[in-house]
Amino acid sequence: MEQTVRNFKEHLRRMDAYNHAFGVLNYDSETAMPRGGSEHLGMTYAVLSEEMYRMTTSPELKAMVKEILSHKEEVDYITRREAEELFEQMERTEKIPMEEYVAYQVAQNEASNAWHTAKVTNDFALFAPHLEKLVNYSRKFAGYWDSSKAPYDVLLDTYEKGLSMEVLDKFFSLLRAELLPVVQAVVKKGPVVDDSFLTKRFSLAKQRKLSDRLMEVLTIDRNHCNIGEVEHPFTTNFSKDDVRITTHYHEKAFASSMYSVIHEGGHALYELNIGDDIKYSPLGGGASMSIHESQSRFYENIIGRSEPFLTYILPDIQKLGPRALKDVSAHDFYLAVNKSEPSLIRTEADELTYSFHVMIRYELEKQLIAGTLAVQDLPAAWNRMYKEYLGVDVPNDTKGVLQDSHWSGGSFGYFPSYALGSAYGAQMLKVMERDLPVWDLVAKGDLKPIVAWLTERIYRYGCLLKPNELILKACEAPFDPHYYVDYLKTKFSEVYGL
């Protein structure tokens, strides 16, 4: 058994190297690669993913995993969880024929390129055949994985163990029932502050300095976390040693980058604080996309858009920013960055209307995967729902159905994570407030105890625990979306004096 565990760990080390290389290739293609390099990158992806397929499904690995799993009591808990994790990956991968697995990687790469062009040129038709391919692959793969369940439920389960349309339908219908009236009340009330200071020219060099300051407040170790610049911010990590956040700077929208940095910084804090004992292990990453989003959105909205935080950080912003910011009060700044207004772009949406952007995507991808909505009809359906729920007219597909990259990467079932994560965060806050003087700490800019609390209950476990186990650990109760609804109702009643 000792020898088996040694061989197993060696196999994991090799898989980790390929994942690392794949991750860097992908990061590079988003941040540095000239677009003309994409064909060659596709060829390289094909070769490496073939090798990864082989490693994930190799008979030697299978034998090792089976041996470990049939003698669970003889190995430590980490090894046991690694074997379980690998067994699942193996089962999932094996069910896809290798040619399809490789073809899918290539299709993904092509779709991503087509989407980039389609978005710039507002040409959904260019992207449509690629999207259709990815939808078909996803439906097919879902069938391979578990033909007894609805394909979309199978996909949801890959992002969040145990998640289903049943859970999400209830969740979103609660949000519709409780929050749509708030959205409407806010619209009726109209602006409560002149927020034009948010659109004054703020030089990119100074915004970069503000990013550095925010990273410092977030307690992020720059020796293990860089900031890249891209069109669509994201975070990636190759291990807790090397985490990359990204942002985008616009001279006349400094708050956009500011909140990107805090959001991505939240993802980074999760990865940077995973336990050292699993740092190069397949368990050494966030437990699920929802748990991840619970962190990014916790720092971005619950902390980052709170009045104590804004009171603390405003002097730094005023020192770097344009003259127009000099006379702004912390309270006005708080009102401005919490301005709620139904709008077109998810990533720029306020906290209150945000979940409806997600809900629309959820409803649409549910139908795409079920086959009840054809790809060619997607833009019209999108525009209809934006009108129905948010009351906005979508002027073109660039600002509509083409705005997000997720579908171009074949991610169907991912979007709900954003809304779920926000809700998890609100529930965590409740328990944290019991243990820590959260708002006193935030007012002093001292986030260390908060990060430590989350590390203790969530971060350090990586994938050792499942999402629902982590929620239980952190919240001492199962998930309950009412905390989120209450949080938003209270906050926006306060901001808008409802």
Which of 6, 28, 169, 393 is close enough to bind a copy of itself by CB under 8 A? 28
Question: What is the residue type of 181?
Answer: P
When asked if residue 244 is in the footprint of a copy of itself (CB under 8 A), the reply is yes
Q: Which is nearer to a copy of itself, 237 or 340 (CB)?
A: 237
Q: Which is nearer to a copy of itself, 36 or 190 (CB)?
A: 36
The answer to whether 238 and 188 are in contact (CB under 8 A) is no
Q: Which is nearer to a copy of itself, 222 or 331 (CB)?
A: 222
Binding span for a copy of itself by CB under 8 A among 31-39, 70-78, 99-107, 467-475? 31-39
Out of 82, 110, 264, 300, the active site residue is 264
- Tokens (6 digits) for 191: 């602006």
When asked if residue 58 is in the footprint of a copy of itself (CB under 8 A), the reply is no
State the maximum Cα–Cα separation within the chain, in Å, rounded to a whole number.
69
The answer to whether 284 and 462 are in contact (CB under 8 A) is yes
Which of 4, 8, 9, 35 is close enough to bind a copy of itself by CB under 8 A? 35
User: What single DSSP character describes residue 332?
Assistant: H
Q: Which is nearer to a copy of itself, 43 or 370 (CB)?
A: 43
Give me Rg for the CA atoms of the chain: 23
When asked if residue 251 is in the footprint of a copy of itself (CB under 8 A), the reply is no
Q: Give catalytic status of residue 264 as yes or no.
A: yes
Spatial neighbors of 437 by CB under 8 A, at least 6 apart, are none
Tokens 């003259």 belong to 323
Which of 7, 33, 230, 324 is close enough to bind a copy of itself by CB under 8 A? 33
Binding span for a copy of itself by CB under 8 A among 46-54, 74-82, 171-179, 388-396? 46-54
- Please, what is the minimum distance in Å from the beta carbon of residue 80 to a copy of itself? 23
Q: Distance between CA atoms of 67 and 90, rounded to whole angstroms?
A: 15
- Please, what is the minimum distance in Å from the beta carbon of residue 448 to a copy of itself? 19
- Tokens (6 digits) for 414: 């991912």
Q: x/- string (CB under 8 A) for a copy of itself, residues 305-344?
A: ----------------------------------------
Q: What 3-state class would DSSP assign to 300?
A: helix
- Tokens (6 digits) for 461: 């476990």
Spatial neighbors of 269 by CB under 8 A, at least 6 apart, are 218, 219, 220, 295, 299, 451, 454, 459
Which of 18, 87, 144, 312 is close enough to bind a copy of itself by CB under 8 A? 18
User: What single DSSP character describes residue 238?
Assistant: E
Which of 117, 173, 226, 329 is close enough to bind a copy of itself by CB under 8 A? 226
φ, ψ at 221 (rounded to 5°): -80, 110
Going through 299-345 in order, the beta strands assigned E by DSSP cover none
Which residues bind to a copy of itself, rule: CB under 8 A? 13-14, 16-18, 20-21, 24-25, 27-28, 31-37, 39-41, 43-44, 46-48, 204-205, 221-226, 228, 238-239, 241-244, 280
What residues are annotated to the active site? Answer: 264
